[in-house]
Amino acid sequence: MNDINILFYLTYTEIWKKKMCEPLLTVTPKSCLQDEKIVLKVTGLVSGSPYTLTSHLQDSRKSKYFSYAHYFADRDGTIDTSRNESYGGHYKGVFQMGLIAGLKPAPDEYQYLRIFKRDVENPDEIEFRLYENFITAEEVFASSFLVNVFHSRHFMGPGVERITIRGRRIRATLFIPAGEGPFPGVVDMFGTAGGLLEYRSAQLASRGIASLALAYFGYDDLPKNLEELDLEYFKAGVHVLLSHKKVKKPHVGAIGVSKGADVAMIMATFIPEVKCAISINGCISNLISPFRVTNDYIIPHLPFMYENIKLVNKTDLVINDGYANPEDYPETIVPIYKSDAKFLFIIGEDDMSVHSRRYAEISAKLLREANKEKNYKICSYNGAGHLLEPPYSPLCFSSYHKVYDIVLLYGGEIKKHTEAQEKSWVEILNVIKENLDNAQSKFADRDGTIDTSRNESYGGHYKGVFQMGLLAGLKPAPDEFQYLRLFKRDVENPNEIEFRVYENFVTVEEIFTSSFLVNEIHSRYFMSPEVEKISIKGRRVRASLFIPAGEGPFPGVVDMFGSIGGLLEYRSAQLASRGIASLALAFFGYDNLPESMEEFDLEYFKEAVNILLSHKKVKKPYVGAIGVSKGADLACAMATFIPEVKCVIGINGGISPMVSPFSVTNDYIIQPLPIVLKNVKVLQNIGFCFNESYVEPEDWPETIIPIYRSNAKFLFIVGEDDKSINSKYFAEISAKLLREAGKENNYKAIITRICSYEGAGHLIEPPYSPLCFWSYHKTYDSVFVWGGEIKKHTEAQEKSWVEIINFIKENLHAPQSKL
């Protein structure tokens, strides 16, 4: 081929590539609430070629913000921000929401602007663009893009009502959720930036919480600066909130960040109607200005040591070392120990504004000393900064502070900060709804309605307000064997639930002999549309593989149950419905597997891992393992001896093999933990409680699974009313072993007081699975007691399911190939 032909060939090839690869940029959904994720995807690209994706926002003051990231197209000519890795720009690695959370001032803007929403009634309009090659921040604004798409992010959900409040003293905005209500209510406050910030209240109302965004200085005719604050002003705010007909009586909550956090704690201490307080990176002492509680009682502010301020880059101030130690100035401490309210302390461990973790620990100490250790919860987030906002608010690492006329550093590492916003938002919504969901009427309401989400039950299978009680409380009918365990066998078909209404209070027996007034049928699915179920019959393995809808690849887990045996598919089906490929693995009592629990062999579980990884839609090279009871110790063994298993969820399991030996090699067999039969307790002369019958694992070290050798991450989920094994104790031993091996970052133990599942039993399932307090165990031909109190157990299932999904996705989000 001569030079002319070569030149023609190369030119034609490039023209053909461009013609055949017309890029298409899509965002799903096109419009959503601000706290919801999107999937940004580009197709029709040249495989292996470099591209730059950008996002652009202009706020209501015409200030411009942008973010950019560098990607290589996959082998199929695709970029998907939910699975592809960024190689440069404002962030690196896989970061689905990076182009929104990473928004910063454009190069020609003042670089210390803080981006926040001012006009909450209008959405943010985000423009996404695709550029050819890797380009710099400056080139973004000087180059032509290949394709673009627009996306709307709403701060107020449909039907949310915004009401301007201008009382005798109060300056505020009230947000009321859509619907009839009544709704739990909170007073919402920010910090030393002053003014009236509405975006968090708008988002709270979009999630079913009435919220009063309250200004207390720097707005309208309020004082311009933080002078002495007065409790009477905040009492008026509470009364305004409670006066709305759609706000639940008689209690409300308070939420605040920074200075607003110590105000929220003062309100919970001195205003009886405030029954829960959320402190986001706040202090246990009153900060900056005096706070007048009564004419005779003023809480002074914590002294500030200006000599301890640090200067960074000649312009930016780190002030967290400036505040004195609260314990050296007890008169400044808010006496929260006098309050019966519930406290949630949200902490960013990279907070450069205040030492929020230290202050939360002092708060916890004060409450414990007052015997109120159940009145608080601490949620601490590594890498998160001071300004923890609702999800996907862009990280504000530093900004100009107009009140002090300086640049303050707030801290935070973008990916970890965003993750903290996601998790803390769930915590915030839960603590408000849990603590402000008051009982309503004994019979039908005054308007002739019963709503299970707000009305109280006065008898039956449960009492009190329990929205999901009629599902979580399902039990065998009177004419059935009373020790049946209810679980789903045919996951491809939904459960059809019939709800009925009877006149008067009827007994269990009368339900089946009386006529009902009206009924309604409801379907509950275990597999979402297009989830694929594949029956697996390998060389030895018997399993079912569930693959999520979509192109993938998806994180994958091996899913195992306990001593009941057989092939249980319902958890795997639900995991796949949440974007996780799951192999439901039988290991005895199914098909041609052994009928009982004999010695287990590592090779069997290795084969299962290989089957999971061999599917084209499962992410390589690692998977996870999840198990309950006996399945939990098998999962720990897999993570210890199978390198491809990089994360483990143990639900009420042991640190030693239970019941049967585990063969690692021909020469290494881990023996089961012995049982002392005389320690087995019998409940009501029929049900066996085994939780006190196992010997101490540390007295039998040869039975301990050496998880300290593993580099996997471990999540231990514990029900504190577990009657089958002492799972809390075993999880504590596991945590101790990992700490002693220098792997304290390799586990998250849901066993401590601050994150415990009080009242939860042994069989913690996906949410709204009915509580199984006890059941007939066919393997042992006996009734086993599993434990659990129905409402607390259901709550544990809700919360642990979120932990499980997040843990799997966080630890198996393998980086993609650039080709």
**pLDDT digit string (tens) for 86-118?**
999 999 999 999 999 999 999 998 888 888 888
CA nearest to 580, candidates 608, 612, 614:
612
Tell me which amino acid residue 77 is.
Answer: G
Mean pLDDT of 134-161: 95
Say how far residue 187 (Cα) sits from the centre of its chain: 23
**Is the pLDDT at 5 greater than 50, yes or no?**
no
**Is the pLDDT at 441 greater than 80, yes or no?**
no
Residue with token string 């849990």: 434
CA nearest to 441, candidates 430, 425, 429, 452:
452
Which backbone phi and psi does 16 adopt, to 5 degrees? -65, -40
Q: What is the DSSP letter of 592?
A: T
Return the sign of the alpha-carbon dihedral for residues 15, 21, 27, 29: positive
**Is the pLDDT at 819 greater than 80, yes or no?**
no
**DSSP annotation string for 562-575:** -TT-S---HHHHHH
Strand order in the sheet with 398-401: 310-312, 316-318, 406-409, 398-401
Sorted by sequence, the CB contacts under 8 Å of residue 13 that are 6+ apart come out as none
**Is the pLDDT at 435 greater than 50, yes or no?**
yes
Mean pLDDT of 583-611: 93
Sorted by sequence, the CB contacts under 8 Å of residue 341 that are 6+ apart come out as 268, 269, 274, 275, 276, 277, 375
**Is the pLDDT at 515 greater than 80, yes or no?**
yes
pLDDT for 509 = 79
Tell me which amino acid residue 330 is.
Answer: P
**Is the pLDDT at 2 greater than 50, yes or no?**
no
Q: How confident is the model at residue 448 (pLDDT cuts 50, 70, 90)?
A: confident
If phi over 0 gives left and psi between -120 and 50 gives alpha, with beta otherwise, what is residue 281? Answer: left
Looking at the annotation, which residues are catalytic? 258, 351, 386
What distance in Å separates the CA atoms of residue 759 and residue 502, rounded to the nearest whole number? Answer: 31
Residue with token string 């019979």: 443
**Is the pLDDT at 745 greater than 80, yes or no?**
no
β-strand partners of 675: 694
CA nearest to 605, candidates 647, 673, 662, 566:
662
CA nearest to 351, candidates 217, 265, 261:
261
pLDDT for 315 = 74
pLDDT for 814 = 40
**Is the pLDDT at 15 greater than 70, yes or no?**
no
H-helix segments, 593-745 = 602-614, 630-641, 727-740
What distance in Å separates the CA atoms of residue 167 and residue 241, rounded to the nearest whole number? Answer: 12
Q: CB count, 10 Å around CB of 478?
A: 11
Q: How confident is the model at residue 144 (pLDDT cuts 50, 70, 90)?
A: very high
CA nearest to 794, candidates 774, 775, 771:
771
**Is the pLDDT at 796 greater than 90, yes or no?**
yes
Before 300, cis peptide (omega within 30)? no
Residue 39 in contact with residue 81, Cβ under 8 Å? yes
Q: How confident is the model at residue 756 (pLDDT cuts 50, 70, 90)?
A: low
What distance in Å separates the CA atoms of residue 419 and residue 585, rounded to the nearest whole number? Answer: 31
Q: How confident is the model at residue 443 (pLDDT cuts 50, 70, 90)?
A: very low
Q: What would the pLDDT profile of 399-434 be if each residue is shown by its tens digit?
A: 888 767 788 899 999 999 999 999 999 999 989 988
pLDDT for 170 = 92
Q: Checking DSSP bridges between strand 185-189 and strand 252-257, what pairing results, if any?
A: parallel
What distance in Å separates the CA atoms of residue 225 and residue 228, rounded to the nearest whole number? Answer: 9
pLDDT for 9 = 37
Task: Tally DSSP H helices, then E strands, for the chain.
Answer: 15, 41
Q: What would the pLDDT profile of 213-237 be if each residue is shown by its tens digit?
A: 999 999 999 999 888 999 999 999 9
Strand order in the sheet with 297-299: 229-230, 291-294, 297-299
Q: What is the DSSP letter of 324?
A: P
Q: How confident is the model at residue 21 (pLDDT cuts 50, 70, 90)?
A: low
Sorted by sequence, the CB contacts under 8 Å of residue 448 that are 6+ apart come out as none
Q: Among 703-712, 733-742, 809-818, which is the least confidently predicted range? A: 809-818
CA nearest to 547, candidates 619, 490, 646:
619
What distance in Å separates the CA atoms of residue 214 and residue 234, rounded to the nearest whole number? Answer: 9
Angle, CA of 190, 192 and 195, to the nearest 5°: 65
pLDDT for 403 = 67
What distance in Å separates the CA atoms of residue 729 and residue 263, rounded to the nearest whole number? Answer: 39
Q: How confident is the model at residue 598 (pLDDT cuts 50, 70, 90)?
A: confident
Q: Residues of the chain with pLDDT > 90: what percent?
A: 69
Residue 457 in contact with residue 741, Cβ under 8 Å? no
**DSSP annotation string for 348-385:** ETT-SSS-HHHHHHHHHHHHHHTT-TTSEEEEEETT--
**Is the pLDDT at 749 greater than 50, yes or no?**
no
Q: Which residue has the higher pLDDT, 311 or 41?
A: 41
Residue 353 in contact with residue 193, Cβ under 8 Å? no
Mean pLDDT of 725-746: 86
pLDDT for 317 = 85
Going from the C-alpha of 540 to that of each of 208, 366, 383, 593, 598, the distances in angstroms are 50, 58, 45, 8, 15
Radius of gyration for the chain, computed over Cα atoms and rounded to the nearest angstrom: 29
Sorted by sequence, the CB contacts under 8 Å of residue 594 that are 6+ apart come out as 588
Mean pLDDT of 149-160: 94
Mapping DSSP onto H, E and C, the string for 669-736 reads: EECCCCECHHHCEEECCCEEECCCCECCHHHCHHHCCCHHHCCCEEEEECECCCCCCCHHHHHHHHHH
Q: How confident is the model at residue 672 (pLDDT cuts 50, 70, 90)?
A: very high
Domains in the chain (CATH in brackets) are: 3-154 (2.60.40.2240), 161-435 (3.40.50.1820), 492-525 (no CATH), 532-811 (3.40.50.1820)
pLDDT for 61 = 87
Q: How confident is the model at residue 646 (pLDDT cuts 50, 70, 90)?
A: very high
Residue with token string 């843990």: 807
pLDDT for 445 = 55
Residue with token string 């299932």: 797
Mean pLDDT (the chain, rounded): 89
Q: Which residue has the higher pLDDT, 646 or 813?
A: 646
Residue with token string 């652009």: 56
Mean pLDDT of 762-779: 92
Q: What would the pLDDT profile of 526-581 be if each residue is shown by its tens digit?
A: 998 889 999 999 889 999 999 999 988 999 999 999 988 999 999 999 999 999 99
